[in-house]
């Protein structure tokens, strides 16, 4: 029987994050379409009360973390996976072999080396540094163990929005004009392409709508200066300044590799569901204020209602992006139309969110369901693509690699 290592980061049991709370049921482990799960790229030190990655007692059992700040902006664990998601993935993998759970904490390298699985299924996001999403794959490569998903280089590249956009632009893939601000002095050297308002600003390594509010939509040099100053001080990382894209927004799941990679039914965002006068973005307010268990925000539609020519253009730019960046097995790519209706790549997510509950806004499973692919089949398909790359035989149920 194939031995499948399962690498993940489980949410500490802290205030507002326990399994089954309203907070989790409303928002889960991701917030599409800008899902990145990368809350710790800023270099401000963690409070002393925060647990380490291991969060275990002397016997090796998990222990509850001390209460964390209720402010989502300070919750660096918010996008780790819940026990419900971890159990659902493990259950899906169990149809393909023996599942060995390997929580990606400080003990992960030793436990991986001792377990020596045939392949690792990876959804671990890491915690520290700008390369945190590549830690598990890099360790797997060190021990010569195959794993699912993109390689360490692609994962680190896609976590850096500016580097991603540089590579896309070099390959003639449309993306909004931009420049990177490392200090306020950089604002004096803005390229001409981004001097005209409106502009949009965001932390270069953040996600889950962290730092994305209505104040990021700037219409004047004064607003730009104030907004950049705030983000630099809050997140202690460079700020990406982009020309604002005024068109419709979409997020696209991709499955497979090489010429066989395919785009799943496109998920569209309906900004008309936002409060009147709101900036048409899926930002912090939409994620944490307007979308509640009592009054859920009905913003996603799949398949998206879009004309055939636009759909073809979106699919083309998504597949070109997937291949140029070296994504493997699966990913989710966010796209927004410019004033001329041309699809521009906004963000690339090679570790997409995979909440199992259809009631949650998890866009890759949503797109898969629209394609007739169930949750277990989705997980098994990703594993199958990875196993095929590594030449590993799996006892995969029929339809898993549909």
Where is the domain boundary, 243, 265, 298?
A: 243
Considering its fold, how many domains does the chain have in total?
3
CA–CA separation, 352 vs 156, rounded Å?
14
Question: Left, alpha or beta for 273 (phi > 0: left; psi -120 to 50: alpha)?
Answer: alpha
In a domain, 204, yes or no: yes
Q: Which of 227, 243, 259 is the last residue of a domain?
A: 243
Residue 9 shares a structural domain with residue 145? yes
Q: Which residue among 102, 133, 149 closes a domain?
A: 149
Residues 283 and 226 in one domain: no
- Position 16 scores a pLDDT of 44
- pLDDT at position 288 is 67
pLDDT tens for 125-156 read 987 888 999 999 999 999 999 999 999 999 99
Residues 221 and 261 in one domain: no
**Average pLDDT of span 8-26:** 56
| pLDDT of 49 | 38
Q: For residue 194, what are the domain limits?
A: 177-243
Residue 400 banded pLDDT, cuts 50, 70, 90:
low
Is residue 296 domain-resident?
A: yes
What was the pLDDT predicted at 35?
36
Report helix, strand or coil for 251: strand
Q: What's the mean pLDDT when you consider all of the chain?
A: 84
Q: Which residues partner with 201 through β-bridges?
A: 241
* Residues 38 and 65 reside in one and the same domain: yes
Residues 351, 334 share a domain: yes
pLDDT at residue 280 is higher than 80: yes
* Per-residue pLDDT tens digits for 241-259: 999 999 999 999 999 999 9
Residues 267 and 238 in one domain: no
- pLDDT tens digits, one per residue of 311-339: 999 999 999 999 999 999 999 999 999 99
Q: Report the pLDDT value the prediction gives residue 241, as an integer from 0 to 100.
A: 95
Q: Specify whether 143 is located in the same domain as 11.
A: yes
What pLDDT sits at residue 56? 46
Read off the pLDDT band of 22 (50, 70, 90): very low
Q: Is the pLDDT of residue 74 over 70?
A: no
- pLDDT higher than 80, residue 270: yes
Within this chain, do residues 87 and 203 fall inside the same structural domain, yes or no?
Answer: no
Whether residue 206 sits in one domain with residue 140: no
> Does residue 349 sit within a domain?
yes
Examine residue 195 and state whether it is found in any structural domain, yes or no: yes
Buried-state track 132-159, b at ≥16 Cβ within 10 A, e below 16: bbbbbbebbeeeebbbbbbbbebbbbbb
Q: Is the pLDDT higher at 105 or at 24? A: 105
Closest CA to 254 of 176, 150, 168: 150
CATH of the domain at 282: 3.30.470.20
Q: Say yes or no: 227 and 281 in one domain.
A: no
CATH of the domain at 212: 3.30.1490.20
Whether 111 is covered by a domain: the verdict is yes
Is residue 102 a contact partner of residue 37, using CB atoms and an 8 Å limit? Answer: no
User: Are 262 and 373 a contacting pair, CB within 8 Å?
Assistant: no
The rounded distance, in Å, linking the Cα atoms of 241 and 352 is 24
Same domain for 236 and 308, yes or no, is no
**DSSP code per residue over 311-376:** HHHHHHHHHHHHHHTT--EEEEEEEEE-TTS-EEEEEEESS----S-TTS--HHHHHHHHTT--HH
Whether residue 349 sits in one domain with residue 212: no
Q: Does residue 341 surpass a pLDDT of 90?
A: yes
């Amino acid at each position: 029987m194939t031995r499948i290592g399962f690498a993940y980061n489980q949410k500490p049991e802290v205030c507002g994050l326990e399994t089954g709370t309203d907070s989790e049921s409303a928002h889960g482990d991701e917030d599409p379409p800008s899902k990145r799960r990368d809350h710790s790229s800023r270099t401000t030190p963690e409070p002393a009360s925060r647990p380490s990655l291991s969060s275990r007692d002397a016997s090796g059992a998990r222990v509850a973390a001390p209460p964390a700040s209720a402010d989502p902006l300070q919750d660096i664990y918010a996008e780790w996976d819940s026990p419900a998601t971890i159990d659902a993935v493990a259950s899906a993998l169990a149809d393909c072999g023996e599942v060995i759970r390997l929580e990606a904490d400080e003990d992960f390298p030793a436990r991986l080396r001792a377990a020596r699985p045939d392949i690792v299924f990876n959804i671990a996001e890491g915690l520290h540094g700008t390369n945190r999403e590549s830690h598990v794959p890099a360790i797997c490569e060190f021990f010569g163990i195959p794993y699912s998903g993109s390689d360490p280089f692609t994962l680190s590249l896609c976590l850096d929005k500016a580097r991603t956009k540089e590579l896309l632009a070099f390959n003639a893939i449309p993306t909004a004009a931009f420049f990177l601000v490392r200090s306020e002095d950089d604002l004096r050297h803005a390229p001409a392409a981004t001097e005209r308002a409106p502009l949009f600003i965001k932390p270069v390594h953040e996600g889950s709508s962290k730092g994305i509010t209505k104040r990021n939509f700037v219409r004047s040099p004064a607003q730009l200066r104030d907004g950049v100053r705030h983000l630099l001080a809050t997140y202690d990382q460079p700020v990406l300044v982009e020309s604002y894209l005024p068109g419709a927004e979409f997020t696209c799941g991709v499955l497979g590799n090489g010429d066989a990679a395919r785009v799943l039914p496109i998920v569209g965002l309906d900004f008309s569901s936002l409060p009147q006068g709101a900036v048409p973005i899926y930002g912090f307010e939409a994620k944490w204020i307007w979308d509640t268990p009592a009054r859920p925000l009905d913003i996603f539609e799949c398949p998206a209602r879009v004309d055939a020519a636009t759909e073809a253009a979106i699919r083309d730019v998504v597949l070109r992006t997937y291949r140029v960046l070296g994504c493997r097995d699966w990913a989710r790519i966010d796209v927004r139309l410019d004033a001329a209706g041309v699809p521009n790549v906004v963000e690339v997510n090679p570790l997409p969110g995979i909440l199992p509950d259809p009631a949650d806004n998890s866009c890759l499973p949503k797109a898969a369901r629209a394609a007739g692919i169930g949750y277990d089949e989705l997980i098994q398909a990703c594993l199958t693509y990875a196993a095929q790359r590594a030449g590993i035989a799996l006892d995969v149920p029929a339809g898993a690699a549909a």
